[in-house]
Each structure stands twice: as structure tokens, then as C-alpha cells.
A and B are shown apart, each in its own frame.
Chain A
Amino acid sequence: MTALHLEFDVAGNNFVSAGSASDEVKKTLKMLGVGAQFVRKVAIAMYEGEINMVIHAGGGRAIVDIYPDRIVIVLTDNGPGIPDIELAMRDGYSTAPEAIRNLGFGAGMGLPNMKKYTDSFKIDSVVGKGTTVTMTVNFAA
């Protein structure tokens, strides 16, 4: 099965451009005629991931493969890593600094939102090396 393959560099510490990769993916899915509710799930999950890479990891890379029945998004960064993934997944838990909260993020809902809107969600993280998040959204009920 052929896939549409997209890659994006997510610039670190640039709040104006944060979300532009998710925006591109959203536009592409709409153009491909993917159902609106699936497009929204993908957009939200990827946007939260992109914001996380900007806030915590100084940017990273997003690799997206779109198949007829699903999308697979892999977000990779070389940031500090997540010491306790279970804790990080908890609603409301955040390590974002005050400056980030003032920008409207760091409510501790990013990872829970990503899990909520995707059909499969996996985090691999090594402290001091970086984090890879792999998410899949199926385009069927």
C-alpha cells in the first residue's frame, strides 16, 4: 500500500510558527477528503505534540505517513527526555515554566489530549537523549 510521506522540522522556541506542521497535515487530510472528525483528532493530537517539542525539547522532527485507512505520526526530539512517563501522562501534571503558562500552555493536558484523540499512542523516552512519540489515528468508526 502506498503512503503519502511528509516530513517537517519543528523549530524550537518559536511560538509564532508552532503549529505550522500540524496545519499542513490538516490541510493535506482535508484535500484527500478524510472525514472532518478524523481530521480534527489528528490536528489536535499533532498540534499538542508539536507544542510539546517547542516547549520542552528545543524543537524536533515530525514524520507523517498517510495511508488510505490511517495516519501514523512520529515525533522525535533530542530534548531532556521524560523521567517518569506515567506521571507525565497524568491530567494536570506539568513541568512547563511560568513563561510558557503565560502563553496559554503548560496546563498538563498535552499528553493526555494526545492519547485521548488517537487510536494508538506510544512514548519512548531516554533521559538525556530525547523522546519519540508514535501516534496512529484510524479513519474509520
Chain B
Amino acid sequence: MKIRQIVELLDAKVYCGEDMMDVDLHSACASDMMSDVLAFVKDQALLISGLCNPQVIRTADMMDIKCIALVRGKRPTEDMIEIAREKGIALISSGHRMYSACGTLYAHGLQPGEITV
């Protein structure tokens, strides 16, 4: 699923990564706990989180995650936008709650898809 489609499905605002809309993502994970995210590596992944601080961006970067969707209408801080831009991570925010964001993307074919390292 392209980031563009995720933005449309979640009716999200793009804070950075406007040039990444055609990047294709193969999997997704959703958590507010960053160590849970770090426990399972996924390929070309989207991170869905209600947590809104710079460590979300750092965690995504360590996992080579390409796009972060903040839910529940969280607005990223300037710090977060700057780190995301530097790391080449698309940062978007949606008014959806976690459950409906996940459900919507899953229903449209975005799978969990873990890989082993």
C-alpha cells in the first residue's frame, strides 16, 4: 500500500515526507509502547502510534520504518518533524483512534507481516 493511500484512508495530515507518497509499504505495526515495536521487525513498515514524542521517530529509524501515522489527532512537535525529515521518514497524523486506523488499513489489505533478522 502506498503512503498516499494511507493518507487518504486515514484522512491524515502530512507533516513531512511529501515526496514519499509513492513509497510502497508491505506491513504495519501499532503500539504506544516503543519496546513492543522494537521486539518485532517488519519490512517496509508503517508504525501507527498514539505516542507523540521524539522517541517515536528514533524507534522508527532504528527499525528502518518508512512512515509513522500518529492517531487520535496528535500533532507532532517541531523536534519530531525535524528528526523525521533528517531520517527520511514520512510523518502523518490522523483523527482516527488506534482501533479504527488499524481496522481501516487492515480491511484494505495492509498486513502485519513480520520478518526475522
Q: Residues of A at under 8 Å CB distance from B?
A: 15-16, 18-19, 22-23, 26, 36-37, 40-41, 43-44, 47-48, 51, 101, 103-110, 112-113, 116-117
The one of A18, A22, A113 in contact with B39, judged by C-beta atoms closer than 8 angstroms, is: A113
Hey, which chain A residues are within 8 Å of B79, CB to CB? 16
B75 close to A (CB within 8 Å)? no
**B interface residues, how many (CB within 8 angstroms):** 22
The CA-CA distance from A22 to B62 in the complex, in Å, is 8
Q: Report the nearest B residue to A109, measured CB to CB.
A: B35
Q: A107-B36, A109-B38, A113-B39 are in contact. Are A47 and B59 (CB under 8 A)?
A: yes
User: Main SS of the interface on chain A?
Assistant: helix
Contact in complex: A109, B39 (CB < 8 Å): yes
Contact in complex: B64, A36 (CB < 8 Å): yes
Q: Report the nearest A residue to B115, measured CB to CB.
A: A37
Contact in complex: A47, B58 (CB < 8 Å): yes
Closest 4 CB pairs of A and B: A109-B35, A19-B58, A107-B33, A107-B35
